[in-house]
Chains A and B, each alone.
Chain A
Amino acid sequence: GESVGLHLPTLSVQEGDNSIINCAYSNSASDYFIWYKQESGKGPQFIIDIRSNMDKRQGQRVTVLLNKTVKHLSLQIAATQPGDSAVYFCALPTPNSGYALNFGKGTSLLVTP
Chain B
Amino acid sequence: GAGVSQSPRYKVAKRGQDVALRCDPISGHVSLFWYQQALGQGPEFLTYFQNEAQLDKSGLPSDRFFAERPEGSVSTLKIQRTQQEDSAVYLCASSLPAADTQYFGPGTRLTVL
Contact = CB atoms under 8 A, between A and B. Distances in A.
Interface of A: 4, 34, 36, 41-46, 49, 89, 91, 93-95, 97-106
Contacts, number: 66
A101 B102 contact: yes
Interface of B: 4, 31, 33, 35, 40-45, 48, 50, 55-56, 58-59, 91, 93, 95, 98-99, 101-107
29 contacts: A4-B42, A42-B106, A43-B4, A43-B93, A43-B104, A43-B105, A43-B106, A44-B93, A44-B104, A46-B102, A46-B103, A97-B45, A97-B58, A97-B59, A98-B31, A98-B33, A98-B48, A98-B55, A98-B98, A99-B102, A100-B56, A101-B33, A101-B43, A101-B93, A102-B45, A103-B42, A103-B44, A105-B40, A105-B41
